[in-house]
Amino acid sequence: MKIRAKAPLRISFAGGGTDVPPYPSRNGGCVLNATIDSFAWGSLRPREDGRIRLASADFNLLLDYTTQSEMLPDGQLDLVKAVINRFGAKDSGGFEIFLHSDAPPGSGLGSSSALIVALVGLIKEFQKVRMTPYDVAESAYRIERHDLAIQGGLQDQYAASFGGFNFMEFYGDRVVINPLRVNPDVLNELEHNLLLCYTGQTRRSDRIIEDQTQRLESGNAETIDALAQQKQLAIDMKSALMRHKLDDFGGLLHSAWEAKRHMSSKISNPLIEEMYAEARKNGALGGKITGAGGGGFILFYCQFENKLRVAEALTKMGAIPKEFAFEGLGLQTWRAPEIVTTMGVFDSGPAAYPKAV
């Protein structure tokens, strides 16, 4: 019997950066985000021969260990090793894990955190451990931020664990998830009018976060003011959403980008600025980078009549539009029966499987 898991990726609308320590403990942070129908996927098959095999389609890697091996960070599937180490999963008869994601690392859609959430889902089911969505998100956060010392915020792990539209509040000692009951007509209209475009560039988010944190710690007034604006914009955008004022929502998305650009000089670059200006010229009311910045995906709000024109203009600049729908569920795990095949990933290697696009 195989164990399967999937955890959704997310788009962030406003508040990003206020979830990054030390800001939440000092000022309290809040974020408005939603999960989409793109996922981090995982599969685990138990073994009884003491072998542990890890495969990633995204990195075209296949690693072999035993239950007696040390799994030390070395730049190869460190996220996977960290989850295994955190849960003591090596104390078993062995297992195989296969992973892939619908978006590349550095995309700004929270793919790395979603992958950890999916891995936690696999291991907790394998070990028959009961965990709430809060437990899963907290474990994923500690693995990524503490065990691996990757700088970043809290929203991605909680988004992948809970799923749906959420207004999240972050404090020094707790996280509060407020699920939003968005009217179905509003959700449909948002999907109709939102445009998600891949810039063609990925980035290291931890370097941007490091710069933002250093500016905060040094008392940089521009960064402090931009973070305060992000908090207020998350509140205002939630209000516009719940009151069905979507053109106001689109305009606030523009304000969120204007504030975000002042949090760190590394958030934007000439290509992003050119794409954003071109989108606005062709009718986008607003938009913003979906993650820390520096590359990845840009989210635009357009009245539907202008959406195709914006997409066409950005495509000419090398951007890649991506269709999406909102996803209401968070982490899902299930069990699947073994299917006997003549060849599998652990016979031929992950290169036999197509990479995520």
- Domains of the chain are 2-334 (3.30.230.120)
pLDDT for position 219: 85
Write the secondary structure of 84-96 as one string of H (helix), E (strand) and C (coil): HHHHCCCCCCCEE
Name the pLDDT band for 89 (thresholds 50, 70, 90).
confident
Average pLDDT of the segment spanning 134-146: 96
pLDDT for position 267: 81
Q: Cβ distance 10 to 113 under 8 Å?
A: no
- Per the model's pLDDT, the better-predicted residue between 41 and 221 turns out to be 41
Q: How far apart are the first and last CA of the chain?
A: 28
As annotated, the active-site residues are 156
166 pLDDT higher than 70:
yes
pLDDT for position 216: 85
Angle (CA) 244-239-278 rounded to 5° is 75
Give the sign of the dihedral formed by CA 18, CA 21, CA 25, CA 26. Answer: negative
pLDDT for position 309: 95
41 pLDDT higher than 80:
yes
pLDDT for position 343: 41
Name the pLDDT band for 318 (thresholds 50, 70, 90).
very high
- Per the model's pLDDT, the better-predicted residue between 286 and 1 turns out to be 286
User: pLDDT tens across 204-230, in order?
Assistant: 555 777 887 888 888 888 888 989 999
pTM of the model: 0.91
Show the tokens assigned to 289.
Answer: 């980078």
Lowest mean pLDDT among 46-50, 80-84, 262-266: 262-266
145 pLDDT higher than 50:
yes
352 pLDDT higher than 80:
no
Average pLDDT of the segment spanning 324-349: 77
Helix axes of 133-142 and 111-126: crossing angle, nearest 10 degrees: 120
pLDDT for position 172: 82
